[in-house]
Amino acid sequence: MHGGVATFAAKDIANLCERTREPQLLEAETGNHVWASRYDRNLADIFAVQDEITEAVTIAAAPAIAEPELRRAMRKPPGSLDAWAAYQRGLWHLSKFGANDYALAQRFFQEAVNLDPNFAGGYTGLAYAQRRLEFRRGTLETESVELARRAVALDGNDAEARVCLGFMLLWQGDHEGALVGSEAALALSPNLASAHGLLGSVLNWSNRHEEGRAALEKSIRLDPRDPNLATRFNAVTVSFYLAGEYVAAIEAARRSIRSYPDGENDYRWLAAALGQAGRIEEAREALEKAIAIAPASFDRYARTRVPWHRPEHHAHMLEGLRKAGWQG
């Protein structure tokens, strides 16, 4: 589990409250106490508070589950990895947002697929890793889409696979297909953080900025350890920028950079936002950083409209970059 998956019916919540007001989570392998919390609610209002309790449990439990899983995988020497451990190692490297880590993530996800060709998670991880490497190289290929389709074909009830395919379609410029993917994932798992992240991204590029930010912030809140968290942060920055809220975009970009200092996308949008805000010296510094981190990627985004940018979005970004001093 790494996407904050936890769904409960109202009767499940009621049964939980009747049995105990202090639900606990134990690690099966060791019996170690991982997480517990106390919920005091009036059972007469159970339907009114169901969503609140479900989200609270999801937010608390997801990191508590992810951390022991990662520790277990990282303890294993590479020669003895099974598919799940290789997958967990891939997620760890994917979350680091660096070119070398992307390559290592790709290696571990490929190992997961080799060890278990029917493991959908291996294909979703591999799709994400390959697409990240493509972004850094300034290319955009179709193999990642096919990997995501393979994951969905292996397990149509895997909400993470649906999200992965949705993102791959979005990055190919298929906004409608991405929206369908987010809706399908949320139908399977209403509290899946990555599904809300996908929905927020789709709404962003559909000029529904406030709705998009709400979905993105919910995604961040649901799973603060999502391997794709940097993507969520960047999407919030983009949402503010496209809405013309440049000061908020600057603040959002800096928040992301504090957590992911090698994110070239953050510096590019930061430069554009600073340029629009008239803070030219800061804008030039951010522009230089964006180009230095990944020159091929910057060139691709600036000189060519990527498929998921609508023409007006690309023109808006270039306006800010030129104010920041870009001469292209």
Residue 7's pLDDT is 41
User: Cα dist. 73→81, 87, 167, 202 in Å?
Assistant: 8, 9, 27, 33
Residue 112 has pLDDT above 80, yes or no: yes
Mean per-residue pLDDT, 124-148: 89
Inter-residue contact 275 to 324 (CB < 8 Å)? yes
Does the pLDDT of residue 2 top 60, yes or no? no
Every domain of the chain and the residues it spans? 10-75, 228-328
pLDDT tens, residue by residue, 272-328: 999 999 999 999 999 999 999 989 889 989 999 999 999 999 999 999 999 999 998
Highest mean pLDDT among 14-18, 218-222, 278-282: 278-282
Using pLDDT thresholds of 50, 70 and 90, give the confidence band for residue 15: very low
Which pLDDT score is estimated for 60? 54
pLDDT of residue 18: 44
- Asked whether the beta carbons of 222 and 4 are under 8 A apart, the reply is yes
The answer to whether 213 touches 246, Cβ cutoff 8 Å, is no
The structure's pTM equals: 0.76
What does the CA dihedral 213, 252, 230, 309 come to, rounded to 10 degrees?
60
Fold for the domain defined by 228-328: 1.25.40
Q: What is the pLDDT of residue 64?
A: 53
pLDDT at 98: 76
Is 324 strand, coil or helix? Answer: coil
Strands 24-26 and 33-36: antiparallel
* Overall residue count recorded for the chain in this entry: 328
Q: Which CA distances in Å does 46 have to 21, 25, 61?
A: 13, 22, 21
Indicate whether 243 pLDDT > 80: yes
Residue, of 328 and 255, whose pLDDT is higher = 255
Has residue 269 got a pLDDT over 80?
yes
Q: Please indicate whether residue 241 or residue 134 has the higher confidence score (pLDDT).
A: 241
CB neighbours of 327 closer than 8 A, spacing ≥ 6?
A: none
Question: E-strand spans in 16-164?
Answer: 24-26, 33-36
Report the share of the chain in percent with pLDDT over 90: 62
Measured between alpha carbons, how far is 204 from 102 in angstroms, rounded to an integer? 26
- What local confidence, expressed as pLDDT, does residue 16 receive? 46
CB 300 within 8 A of CB 139: yes
190 pLDDT band, cuts 50/70/90, is very high
d(CA 210, CA 191): 20
The better pLDDT of the pair 145, 138 is held by 145
Task: Give the confidence band of 3 by pLDDT, cuts at 50, 70, 90.
Answer: very low
- Rounded average pLDDT over 218-230: 88
Give whole-number Cα distances, 134 to 141, 256, 300, in Å.
7, 21, 11
Note the pLDDT of residue 284: 98
- Tell me the average pLDDT across 20-29: 54
3-state secondary structure of 105: helix
CA distance 263 to 234: 9
